[in-house]
Amino acid sequence: MTTPSLPQCGNALIDDGHRRLMAALASLGEIATRPQNRAETLVGLKGFLDLLRDHFGIEEIIMRSVGYAGAERHARIHTRLIDTLGEQVDRLEFGAAFPATEVVARMTDMLIEHELVTDSEYWTSLDAAERPDLPHPAPRPWDRSLDTGNARIDSHHRALSRLATRFHRLDGRADTGHLANLLHGLNTLMRLHFRTEETLWPESDPHHALAHSHFLETLDHAGRRLLEGEMSPSAFARDVLDHWLVDHIRAADQPRFRVLVP
């Protein structure tokens, strides 16, 4: 199993915490595949929850110290997440029928979605300020007219838009390794988002799925150009991410998801 990595947010403590959490889940995934390891898996899951609790605590301190306005709301999301994951571990401990591998897979999905969508809300507070010096203007700020009305889809779209802002602000200030890491995070988030949309929409929807897979190919190509230095991060943010996202939301996502209950 390959360990999905999370994009660096620029704070060494948080980034280190993410690496440790993802590595812990990857090794738990290995242990949980063998039924004879049930006791070991349970101990590992509890250890993971402790690690996650510590990580959230550090994150809450950092969010408050940078003056992030949503810090209290974010801390409540952490509490709910820990409670939900704790309940899953309890159910497993007291004989629930679903396999441990499923619990580990669910935890991995929840953690990735929390980090890439919810946490990314404060990551731009950690970046450099706006960059009027760049030839490509910043991606447009999020505009409520782009909401679909489905809370989960909208939270993903906003996270993608924030990621575009991060690419823009890092123009000329990030080395290839940092850009590769951000690209990897973008790819993980795009795939999670597309999978979510394709699962939420109740009917077979080949046109929409095709638009998604075409965009992943475009992203691959543009990502290579970015890493080879043929495209600047600000051009990538504006021309690849921002334009596609806005077009696609208006043409494909809004007509579908506007009708769904959040």
Count of CB atoms within 10 A of residue 190's CB? 20
253 makes contact with Fe ion (CB under 5 A):
yes
- Nearest Cα to Cα of residue 103 among 113, 95, 112, 92: 92
154 makes contact with Fe ion (CB under 5 A):
no
Cβ proximity to Fe ion: between 22 and 252 the closer is 252
Whether the CB-CB separation of 243 and 196 falls below 8 Å is answered with: no
The CA-atom distances, in angstroms, between 52 and each of 31, 99, 257 are: 19, 22, 33
Select from 113, 119, 154, 171 the one that contacts Fe ion (CB under 5 A): 119
113 makes contact with Fe ion (CB under 5 A):
no
CB of 174 to Fe ion, least distance (A): 23
Q: 197-216 mask for Fe ion (x: CB under 5 A)?
A: x-------------------
DSSP conformational letter for 237: I
Distance CA 91, CA 59 (A): 28
Cβ proximity to Fe ion: between 197 and 242 the closer is 197
Cβ proximity to Fe ion: between 96 and 252 the closer is 252
- Nearest Cα to Cα of residue 192 among 112, 107, 105, 247: 112
CB of 75 to Fe ion, least distance (A): 8
CB of 194 to Fe ion, least distance (A): 6
Residues that bind Fe ion (CB under 5 A): 119, 197, 252-253
